[in-house]
Amino acid sequence: MQETNAILPARAAPERAAPALTPALTGLLAAGAGLSVASLYYSQPILGSLGADMGASPGALALVPTLTQLGYALGLLLLAPLGDRFDRRHLILGKTSALAAALLVAAGAPTIGVLQVAGLAIGVAATMAQDIVPAAASLAPEARRGKVVGTVMTGLLLGILLSRVVSGFVAEHFHWRAMFVAAAASVAAIGVTVWARLPASAPTTRLGYGRLLGSLAALWRRHPALRRATLAQGLLCVGFSAFWSTLAVMLHAAPFHLGSTAAGAFGLAGAAGALAAPIAGKLADRRGPEPVTRIGAGVAVAAFVAMTAGPLLSPPGQLILLALGALGFDLGVQATSIAHQTIVYGIDPGARSRLNAVLLSGMFLGMAAGAALGGVLLAAWGWQGVTGLGAVAGLGALAVRLWPARR
């Protein structure tokens, strides 16, 4: 702790006793995290119908999820560190307003260019989720922190995965614009509720904004555990995003010719994997998070390797393999994410928002890279190019976790 205080001299005193974190408040935080981060993914299963409606090229369509992920990474770097400097309730309310406005712009977008800009703004404002997760970690007692973070992250991850199911259904039975209107309403409602129920958080630093951002680099240099977690999770997210950002386009084409509802339904398989997040949190509390990172990365690699055989099967067999693969790699990615967050939140209680910003920035840079590379590889090499990318990136993450840490 002395080393961190030397870098961050204006940090406040160590953590004071936090208000009790009740099950109801934990559930509310999980719902808030899920509904806010779901906004990042509503566009993915509807890209096929959206492109037909707007007459957009595949390249222009791929930019929508890519810019949204880049916006999220940008928001994490520029806005998430403010959670250590200000009351998180005020940050949540401000981001809720901005996110609802951006979703309404997307709903009324007349051109693909406007939708791309709205996607970037949605990504920046959706970092409200990353004010909620550190708030839960700060309220949780140390002995239960992995379990609490796992529960809130389950809500967040279910928001990511079920957003595709809901979006695909709404787009096919109503219209893709209706999905963005409904999303804006849900975000506004949950944001106000979380803001009203969440206890006030005292600042843990008095650093000005410039020095606050500068401290991110200091934290990165000082903590090898942060660097390893960020690199490994970022690599896993490359494969995760490549799969989900290209799935709808692949299913829309021959030999499947499936609509957005079918593409979104694969989110149910991924959601089943996400439900294991609390189990990963409990295991991290009992056995330590390091073994969980290795197991999770190994499971993700195995799932992607298996899916590379998909084009060799009949169309029904390919769909079954896709569902099983989605369950497997989502389970591995989410378990590893919980373990990495448990590691990072234990580094410095006074810098949790900034530590989380670094970790999540790496994750969503990986997401953006996966979305961009997935579209290129799908066009050039087909579905095996996408799953091959996921397997290679997952092997890289596993190598980072297996490489002996410097003492």
User: What are the structural domain ranges in the chain?
Assistant: 18-402
Instruction: Report whether pLDDT(20) > 70.
Output: no
For 359-374, write each residue's pLDDT tens digit: 988 887 898 789 889 8
Name the least confident of 60-74, 88-102, 132-146, 151-165: 132-146
Of 18-32, 58-72, 103-117, the range with the highest mean pLDDT is 103-117
Instruction: Report whether pLDDT(255) > 90.
Output: no
Dist CA 64 CA 7 (whole Å): 39
Check residue 389 and give its pLDDT: 94
Of 31-40, 79-88, 263-272, 338-347, the range with the highest mean pLDDT is 31-40
Q: How confident is the model at residue 405 (pLDDT cuts 50, 70, 90)?
A: low
Closest by CA to 223, choosing from 91, 359, 102, is: 359
Amino acid at 7: I
Check residue 13 and give its pLDDT: 38
Rounded to the nearest angstrom, the gap between the alpha carbon of residue 280 and the centroid of all alpha carbons in its chain is 17
Token reading at 178: 């209706």
% of residues, the chain, pLDDT over 70: 89
For residues 177-195, one letter each, b for 16 or more C-beta atoms within 10 angstroms of the residue's C-beta and e for the rest, the string is bebbbbbbebbbebbeebb
Check residue 260 and give its pLDDT: 66
Q: Are 237 and 363 in contact (CB under 8 A)?
A: yes
Check residue 179 and give its pLDDT: 92
Ramachandran region, residue 257 (left: φ > 0; alpha: ψ -120 to 50; beta: rest): left
* Whole-Å CA distances, 186 to 102, 159, 261: 13, 12, 21
Higher-pLDDT residue of 381 and 286 is 381
Dist CA 293 CA 280 (whole Å): 9
Dist CA 129 CA 150 (whole Å): 14
pTM of the predicted protein model: 0.70
Amino acid at 129: A
Q: Report the chain's mean pLDDT, rounded to a whole number.
A: 82
Token reading at 149: 């973070």
Higher-pLDDT residue of 407 and 390 is 390
Higher-pLDDT residue of 180 and 55 is 180
Q: Are 228 and 129 in contact (CB under 8 A)?
A: no
Instruction: Report whether pLDDT(8) > 80.
Output: no
Check residue 217 and give its pLDDT: 87
* Whole-Å CA distances, 231 to 80, 298, 402, 404: 19, 16, 13, 15
% of residues, the chain, pLDDT over 90: 21
For residues 365-403, one letter each, b for 16 or more C-beta atoms within 10 angstroms of the residue's C-beta and e for the rest, the string is bbbbbbbbbbbbbbeeeebbbbbbbbbebbbbbbebbee
Dist CA 144 CA 74 (whole Å): 31
Instruction: Report whether pLDDT(55) > 80.
Output: no
* Whole-Å CA distances, 1 to 179, 222, 347, 351: 47, 11, 9, 11
CATH code for the structural domain at 18-402: 1.20.1250.20
Q: Is the peptide bond before 110 cis (omega within 30 degrees of 0)?
A: no
For 293-332, write each residue's pLDDT tens digit: 999 899 999 999 998 887 778 888 888 888 888 888 888 8
Q: How confident is the model at residue 4 (pLDDT cuts 50, 70, 90)?
A: very low
Instruction: Report whether pLDDT(1) > 60.
Output: no
Token reading at 241: 């995003």
The mean per-residue pLDDT over the stretch 27-53 comes to: 84
Check residue 400 and give its pLDDT: 93
For 274-289, write each residue's pLDDT tens digit: 666 667 767 777 777 8
For 193-243, write each residue's pLDDT tens digit: 887 788 877 777 787 888 888 888 889 999 999 999 999 999 999 998 899
